[in-house]
C-alpha cells in the first residue's frame, strides 16, 4: 500500500510536464507497478491434498462441494485414532477459511472405519463421529488417491518384557527381548507383518523358547468388510506366542457404543526357534471360538467386554474386562472363570512413541505408539499346568488403544483438540 501511494504521487507530479502520449505511457507503467506489488503481497494458495500430504497423511482423496470438504485420509503419522482427524481439519481450516463443513473419512489399511463431521459455529467446533460413511464414499469414489501407502514399510521396535513370580527357589523368572515388526500395506485392507524376536537378557532354563531367536508374528491380515454395521477380518500365519494357523473375526455394530463379535481360529503349536529347529511340534490342531459383547460408555469412558466360549487349549469359560480410557491411556482389570478355576489380573496400554512420527520415505524406523502389558495372577496350579484361559495375538500392536475405532471415543477427543481443551 505504501509503495502504491508513492507511485501515484510521483506520477501526478511528473505528468504535469509531459505530453499526452507520455502521460498515457507513464500511467500504464504506474498501474503495472501497482499490480505487480499487489500480486507479490497476495498469499499463495496451496491445494488441499498438498496440505494434507505435508501433515503426513497418505491415500488422500478430496472433493470440495460448495463450502463442504469431503476427504478420505490414511493416517500413519499421528498416534492413536483421533489426532489425525483433528490435525487434518485444523490444517485445512487455516489454509482455506472458505470451507465451513468437513466430512473426513478415516481409513485403516485403506478400509473406511469412521467419518468425522465437523463445522465451526460462533467460534466453537461442533463435531460428530459415526459410521454413516456411504455419502462420503460416493462423493470420493471417482477421485484419484494421492500419496499411496502401498508398499511402504514401517519398522517398529517393540520391547517384550516377561516376569514370572511363581518359582520356589528364586524370586522370579525374567526375560527381556526386542521384537522389530516389519509392517506394510499390500492392497486395500491387506496388512503384511513379519516380526522376529531377539533375546536381550534372561535367567531362563535351557529349552525355554524365550531364550532363543524366534518368530513372533508373521501374518497376512485381510479386512474383508467394513461398513456401517459389519466388520470382518481374516488373518493367517504365525501368531504370538508360538501358534501357526488361521483366525477369523466377525464384528456387528448393533447400536452406538455396542459391538458384537464372533471370533475363532484353528491353530497348531509351532516351534520356530533357532535352536530346536523350525516346524510343528504338535500335529493335532486346536480350535478356539468366542462370542463377545463390547460396550463403550462415553461419560465414564469405560470399555466393558464380556466374552465366553472355548479358550485355546479346549477349556470353556468366560472372561470379563473393564477398561478405563484416560485419553490415550487404557488401564483395566479382568477376571476369568474356566474349567472350574478362576484367574484375574490387570492390563494397560500407555503412549510410548511421539505424538507424530512422520514417514518421509518408503522405509521408516519408529517406536511403537503404545506399550501394553498384562499381569495374570494364576494362583492355582491346575490353571497353570493345564494352560487354561489362554489366547494368542494375531498382530504385534494388538491392545485397547491402537486401532480403537469407537465413535464416541474419537468424537470426544477430536472435539477437545479443535476447541483447545486437549493437546
Whether the ω angle into residue 241 lies within 30 degrees of 0, i.e. cis, is yes
| Tens digits of residue pLDDT in 87-120 | 999 999 999 999 999 999 999 999 999 999 999 9
For the chain, the C-alpha Rg in angstroms (whole number) is 29
Residues 228 and 375 in one domain: yes
Residues 390 and 259 in one domain: yes
> Once rounded to an integer, what is the mean pLDDT over residues 168-178?
84
Residues 287 and 395 in one domain: yes
Residues 89 and 231 in one domain: no
Residues 37 and 56 in one domain: no
Query: Does residue 295 fall inside a structural domain?
Result: yes
> Once rounded to an integer, what is the mean pLDDT over residues 31-41?
42
- Pick 131 or 42 by higher pLDDT: 131
Query: Sorting pLDDT into bands at 50, 70 and 90, what band is 272?
Result: low
Residues 128 and 18 in one domain: no
DSSP string spanning 233-248?
A: EEEEEEEBTTEEEEEE
Residues 319 and 405 in one domain: yes
Residues 73 and 114 in one domain: yes
| Tens digits of residue pLDDT in 185-212 | 999 999 999 999 999 999 888 878 888 8
How many folded domains does the chain comprise?
A: 3
Average pLDDT, the chain: 86
> Once rounded to an integer, what is the mean pLDDT over residues 226-240?
95
Helices vs. strands in the chain: H and E counts, helices first: 7, 20
Among residues 148, 168, 197, the one where a domain terminates is 148
Q: Are 339 and 392 in contact (CB under 8 A)?
A: no
- Of 28, 27, 34, 99, which is closest to residue 62 (Cα–Cα)? 99
Residues 131 and 249 in one domain: no
Taking every pair of Cα atoms in the chain, the longest distance, rounded to a whole number of angstroms, is: 111
Is the pLDDT at 34 greater than 50? The verdict is no
Query: Sorting pLDDT into bands at 50, 70 and 90, what band is 68?
Result: very high
Query: Does residue 255 fall inside a structural domain?
Result: yes
Share of the chain above pLDDT 70, in %: 85
Residues 292 and 314 in one domain: yes
Backbone angles phi, psi at 381, to 5 degrees: -65, -35
- Of 331, 324, 287, 325, which is closest to residue 309 (Cα–Cα)? 287
Cα–Cα distance for residue pair 14/131, rounded to 1 Å: 69
* pTM attached to this predicted model: 0.84
- Of 395, 132, 367, 375, which is closest to residue 249 (Cα–Cα)? 395
Is the pLDDT at 51 greater than 50? The verdict is yes
Is the pLDDT at 395 greater than 70? The verdict is yes
The residue range of the domain holding 138 is 48-148
Query: Does residue 8 fall inside a structural domain?
Result: yes
Cα–Cα distance for residue pair 105/109, rounded to 1 Å: 13
The predicted structure's pLDDT at residue 73: 96
Among residues 118, 148, 178, the one where a domain terminates is 148
- Of 358, 399, 273, 366, which is closest to residue 83 (Cα–Cα)? 358
Residues 25 and 71 in one domain: no
Among residues 127, 148, 169, the one where a domain terminates is 148
Supply the CATH number for residue 110's domain. 3.10.310
Measured CA distances, 380 to 165, 343, 377, 390 (Å): 13, 8, 9, 14
The predicted structure's pLDDT at residue 33: 45
Residues 35 and 59 in one domain: no
Amino acid at each position: 500500500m505504501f509503495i502504491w501511494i508513492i507511485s501515484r504521487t510521483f506520477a501526478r507530479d511528473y505528468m504535469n510536464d509531459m505530453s499526452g502520449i507520455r502521460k498515457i505511457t507513464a500511467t500504464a507503467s504506474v498501474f503495472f507497478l501497482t499490480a505487480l506489488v499487489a500480486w507479490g503481497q497476495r498469499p499463495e494458495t496451496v491445494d488441499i491434498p498438498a496440505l494434507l500430504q505435508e501433515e503426513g497423511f497418505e491415500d488422500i482423496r478430496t472433493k470440495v462441494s460448495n463450502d463442504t470438504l469431503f476427504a478420505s485420509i490414511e493416517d500413519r503419522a499421528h498416534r492413536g485414532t483421533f489426532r489425525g482427524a483433528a490435525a487434518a481439519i485444523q490444517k485445512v481450516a487455516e489454509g482455506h477459511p472458505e470451507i465451513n463443513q468437513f466430512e473426513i473419512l478415516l481409513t485403516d489399511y485403506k478400509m473406511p472405519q469412521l467419518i468425522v463431521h465437523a463445522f465451526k459455529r460462533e467460534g466453537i467446533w461442533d463435531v460428530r463421529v459415526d459410521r454413516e460413511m456411504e455419502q462420503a464414499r460416493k462423493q470420493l469414489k471417482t477421485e484419484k488417491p494421492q500419496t499411496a501407502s502401498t508398499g511402504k514399510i514401517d519398522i517398529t521396535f517393540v520391547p517384550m518384557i516377561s516376569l514370572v513370580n511363581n518359582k520356589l527357589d528364586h524370586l522370579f523368572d525374567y526375560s527381556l527381548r526386542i521384537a522389530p515388526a516389519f509392517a506394510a500395506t499390500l492392497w486395500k485392507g491387506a496388512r503384511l507383518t513379519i516380526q522376529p524376536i531377539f533375546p536381550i537378557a534372561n535367567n531362563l532354563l535351557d529349552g525355554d523358547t524365550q531364550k532363543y531367536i524366534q518368530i513372533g508374528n508373521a501374518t497376512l491380515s485381510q479386512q474383508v468388510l467394513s461398513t456401517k454395521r459389519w466388520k470382518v477380518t481374516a488373518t493367517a500365519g504365525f501368531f504370538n506366542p508360538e501358534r501357526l494357523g488361521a483366525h477369523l473375526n466377525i464384528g456387528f455394530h448393533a447400536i452406538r457404543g455396542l459391538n458384537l463379535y464372533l471370533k475363532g481360529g484353528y491353530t497348531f503349536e509351532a516351534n520356530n526357534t533357532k535352536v530346536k529347529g523350525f516346524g510343528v511340534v504338535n500335529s493335532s490342531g486346536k480350535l478356539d471360538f468366542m462370542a463377545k459383547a463390547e460396550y463403550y460408555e462415553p461419560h465414564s469412558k469405560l470399555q466393558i467386554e464380556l466374552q465366553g466360549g472355548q479358550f485355546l487349549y479346549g477349556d470353556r469359560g468366560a472372561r470379563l474386562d473393564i477398561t478405563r480410557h484416560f485419553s490415550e491411556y487404557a488401564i483395566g482389570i479382568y477376571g476369568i472363570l474356566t474349567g472350574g478355576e478362576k484367574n484375574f489380573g490387570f492390563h494397560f496400554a500407555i503412549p510410548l512413541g511421539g505424538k507424530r512420527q512422520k514417514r518421509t520415505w518408503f522405509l521408516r524406523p519408529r517406536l511403537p505408539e503404545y506399550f501394553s502389558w498384562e499381569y495374570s495372577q494364576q494362583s492355582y496350579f491346575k490353571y497353570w499346568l493345564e494352560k487354561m484361559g489362554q489366547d494368542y495375538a494375531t498382530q504385534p500392536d494388538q491392545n485397547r488403544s491402537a486401532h480403537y475405532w469407537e465413535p464416541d471415543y474419537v468424537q470426544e477427543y477430536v472435539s477437545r483438540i479443535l476447541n483447545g481443551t486437549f493437546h
